[in-house]
A and B are shown apart, each in its own frame.
Chain A
Amino acid sequence: MSINWTSFVIQVVSFGILFLLLSKFAFGPLFGIMEKRRQLVKEQIDGAEKSRTDAERYLEEQKQALQQARKEAYDIIELAKTTGSKQADDIVEAARSEANRLKEEAVREIESEKNKAIASVKAQVSGLSVLIASKIIEKQVDEKTQGELVDKYLQEVGTKS
């Protein structure tokens, strides 16, 4: 092994030149690009993180809105149910009172018809009895006595009926 000192010196110089050239024309721009990429990646990660939290927030809001809507729907249904049953009760009640009213009316009518019928029967009966009685006692009593008799009987009929 022998060291050639000119090679040595030339190597030192040429390595120095290569180093300077590479630093200036190759590595400098490359480092710049890598730094930019680092920035870009960092920004994108930050952005992604932000959108993730946003998404979570929106999801939470949606959930709450859904919950709210569900509660309202439940309330509405409950209200409708109670209103419905109350109305049904009202209708049934109204129908019942109407029916009672009609029944009572009918009963009253029947009563008055009955009374009317009885009164007319009474009148006819009294006429007929007078007729019959007059025919039977035509010859025995004078008109004055006859009148007294009829009155007497009529009074009896009135109290007995």
Chain B
Amino acid sequence: MEHIAPIVIIGGQKVDLSAIIMMVVTSIIVFVLARLSIRKMSVENPGKLQNFMEWVVEFVSNIIGMATDFKRGKVYLSLGLTLIMYIFVGNMLGLPFNFITEAHHGHATFLGMDLFMDGKDEAEFAWWKSPTADAAMTMALALTVIVLSHIQGIRHNRKHYFKHYVQPWSFFLPINIIETVAKPLTLGLRLYGNIYAGEVMISVILGMGWVGIPAMLVWQGFSVFVGAIQAFVFTMLTMVYIGQYSIHEEDH
């Protein structure tokens, strides 16, 4: 039986409870991790977590340095850090286990709210998943950073920002617009596709029973790798887009 998301309907809107739970859990984990790392902050004798967090900061600084000019991209360091930590933690969360409740007789409730079962009699609700395995959430992240890059482009680099739509000639305007629209789509869907496919694969391997254990081990390891790479790619592309729009070298 396919797992469906636990959805309640509030004010005519479908609200995905598992998505909200996962957003909150991911955010809390990221925030607690960051807070723990600076708990016993020290200049001369940093703890392990502080060292790790400083490594992450260096890593994101390098990403910014690769994508644009680090001096001018420095203000986006916090954004990059939040993105990479949120996405990485999100990617990892879906891996270790799942939490499923079953509903029969076409009726299930959560905190007194009726869960939406799409008219079916029986359903299995998956409460635990990667927040990044949901297109709504990856698209939200992608659109956020893309909109931010456009705003920053208009604010800091207005002339170049408007000019780039008609470059090299005004004939290219439609192509440039398509490119602009494609950017958030590719950014969000790449992340979603990778993580969602990983989770689908995990459920397929789970269906194999005992035989699937070696495959499961391999796939879990690979998913960790994919999760890390996707977090990196998302952050990298964010910085590249922001760099393209707002931090543009004058000489080209």
**Is A65 interfacial (CB 8 A cutoff)?**
no
Q: Which of B22-81 contact A (CB under 8 A)?
A: 23-24, 27, 30-31, 34-35, 37-38, 41-44, 46, 50, 53-54, 57, 77-79, 81
Task: Given A11-B136, A18-B82, answer yes or no on A26-B20 (Cβ-Cβ < 8 Å).
Answer: no
Q: Is the CB of A8 within 8 A of B136?
A: yes
Stretch with Cβ within 8 A of A (4 or more), from B9-17, B152-160, B204-212, B238-246: B9-17
Instruction: Give chain B nearest CB distance to A1 CB in angstroms.
Output: 5
Task: Given A4-B136, A8-B136, answer yes or no on A14-B23 (Cβ-Cβ < 8 Å).
Answer: yes
A9 and chain B: residue at smallest CB distance: B140
- When distances are taken between beta carbons in the complex, the residues of chain B under 8 Å from A33 are 38, 41-43, 46, 50
**Is A123 interfacial (CB 8 A cutoff)?**
no
**Is A42 interfacial (CB 8 A cutoff)?**
no
- When distances are taken between beta carbons in the complex, the residues of chain B under 8 Å from A18 are 27, 30-31, 82, 86
Q: Which of A40-89 contact B (CB under 8 A)?
A: 40
Instruction: Give chain A nearest CB distance to B57 CB in angstroms.
Output: 7
Instruction: Give chain A nearest CB distance to B231 CB in angstroms.
Output: 14
Q: Is the CB of B140 within 8 A of A12?
A: yes
Tell me if B's interface is mostly helix, strand, loop or mixed.
helix
B81 and chain A: residue at smallest CB distance: A27
- When distances are taken between beta carbons in the complex, the residues of chain A under 8 Å from B117 are none
Q: Is the CB of A6 within 8 A of B38?
A: no
**Is A115 interfacial (CB 8 A cutoff)?**
no
Instruction: Give chain A nearest CB distance to B138 CB in angstroms.
Output: 9
Q: Is the CB of B38 within 8 A of A29?
A: yes
- When distances are taken between beta carbons in the complex, the residues of chain B under 8 Å from A23 are 78, 82
**Is B137 interfacial (CB 8 A cutoff)?**
yes
Instruction: Give chain B nearest CB distance to A11 CB in angstroms.
Output: 4
Q: Is the CB of B134 within 8 A of A7?
A: yes
Which 5 interchain pairs have the tightest Cβ spacing? Answer: A26-B34, A11-B140, A7-B136, A7-B19, A11-B137
Q: Residues on B close to A: CB < 8 A? A: 5, 7, 13-16, 19-20, 23-24, 27, 30-31, 34-35, 37-38, 41-44, 46, 50, 53-54, 57, 77-79, 81-82, 85-86, 131, 134-137, 139-141, 143-144, 192
Q: Residues on A close to B: CB < 8 A? A: 1-12, 14-19, 21-23, 25-27, 29-31, 33-34, 36-37, 40
